[in-house]
Amino acid sequence: MPGLRGGGFALLIAATAIGLCGFAAVLPLVPLWATRGGAGEFGAGSTTAAFMLTTVLTQLAMPWLLERGGYRWAFPVGSLVMGLPAPLFALTNDLGPLVAVSAVRGVGFGMVSVAGTVLAARLVPHRQVGRATGYYGLAVGLPQVLILPGGVALALHIGFDTAFWITGLCSVLGAVLSWGIWFADGGRNRPALRGTGRRAVRTPGASPAPPLLRALAAPLVLMLLTASSAGAIVTFLAIPLERAAWLVGGALAAYALAVVVGRWAAGMLYDRHRRALLLLPGMVGAVLGMALVTAALWSHGGEGVSPGVWTALLVLLGTAVFGLGFGAVQNETVTLMLNRAGPAGYGRASAVWNIGFDAGSGAGAMALGLLIQMLGYGPAFMVAAVSLLAVLPLALGGRGPRA
């Protein structure tokens, strides 16, 4: 394989960085757009939940599709399915159409998320998997430093319709770039894109799936809970702080940048030491960051009230600390799953990890939306912080033996 320096891997990184702008920018915009149409927090959260529901349902089928030729076409087709419907959001802010379009786009994101993660591992030798997932994490996260706050700022100052058109075009461009992986490096990437050579070989009478699922259970739970908290931050932070657009932009930028730093550090250390060293510190950071955001929202006066200095500091610090922890947990859990599954199980490991990420994000948005309407922002976010604290013991055994 050409590896990290190959043109195919470079195209994957470029397609991911550009194409997923259509995911990152829209994620906080659609709930905000829904509230402009009269939807409450539960309704706004349902747009994210619908997106993540179809994402997860698609991801369940991805291992089967990938091993039957899907490595070649899943990423470009998924990018098109994610990007082409995005301008439809601009036609109305009624909740029903927003949920429907979000559901369609979730199918595309389900294809892209699983295919991208597993391609990052398949396009490089096994000794480079930690760094490859780290680079892939950079491609996913680094654009969000600008896109998450930039999309909100663009929509508030220029218009939601412009923001939806631009993000849709980004995903279409990602589809074009990802198709070039097949032609890059003189065709040396094609065995990895055909899904041959790493397919699991089943021994007669053996039942490998349950042991594999047990091996992936602990990192899956950690991914589910941290992703649900991240989904709560990205989906709802802009609503109570809408009067302070600078604070929303700064907090989302701090969160996105910290995720990139945390994920990159975890990937480098994993390749160097061949074990997950930052899983427990990452979980501790996620708990602490969520607690700080909870304290900030609890002290905030509510929607329509400008936040004070103390609230602003807590929000910025909390989102940054949570992002560092979440980034580390992302990379440690995905490398743990890939290592435990082995090359033959990369497709299943990628699907399980992405299901944990996206199911957690969708469930977090829906559950937190309901809790916010019932209890308010502070108590609802406290539930998320306590949930993270409850699963912290699962990270104690994350280091495991050397890969």
Count of domains forming the chain: 1
User: How big is the chain, counted in residues?
Assistant: 403
- 203 has a pLDDT exceeding 60: no
Residue 255 lies in a domain: yes
Give the least confident one: 146-155, 160-169, 380-389.
146-155
HSE value, Cβ hemisphere, 13 Å, CA-based, for 217: 8
Residue 196, pLDDT > 70, answer no
Note whether residue 65 is domain-resident.
yes
Are 391 and 155 in contact, with CB atoms under 8 Å apart?
no
CATH code of residue 74: 1.20.1250.20
Q: Cβ–Cβ contacts within 10 Å for residue 289, how many?
A: 27
187 in a domain, yes or no? yes
Q: Is residue 201 part of a domain?
A: no
Report H helices in 20-159.
21-24, 26-36, 41-65, 71-83, 95-122, 129-157
Per-residue confidence at 399, pLDDT binned at 50, 70, 90?
low
Count, in order, helices (H) and strands (E) of the chain.
15, 0
- pTM strictly above 0.85: no
Question: Cα(216)–Cα(248) distance, rounded to whole angstroms?
Answer: 35
Token digits for 24? 């990152």
Question: Does pLDDT of 42 surpass 50?
Answer: yes
Is 372 part of a structural domain of the chain? yes
Residue 266 falls inside a structural domain:
yes
3-state secondary structure at position 242? coil
Domain span holding position 342:
3-196+208-397
Give the whole-angstrom CA distance, residue 158 versus residue 163.
8
Instruction: Give per-residue pLDDT as tens, 215-239.
Output: 788 899 999 999 999 988 887 887 7
Residue 326 within a domain:
yes
Instruction: Read off the pLDDT of residues 339-373 as tens digits, 9 standing for 90 and up.
Output: 888 777 777 888 888 888 878 877 777 788 888 88
> Is 113 contained in some domain?
yes
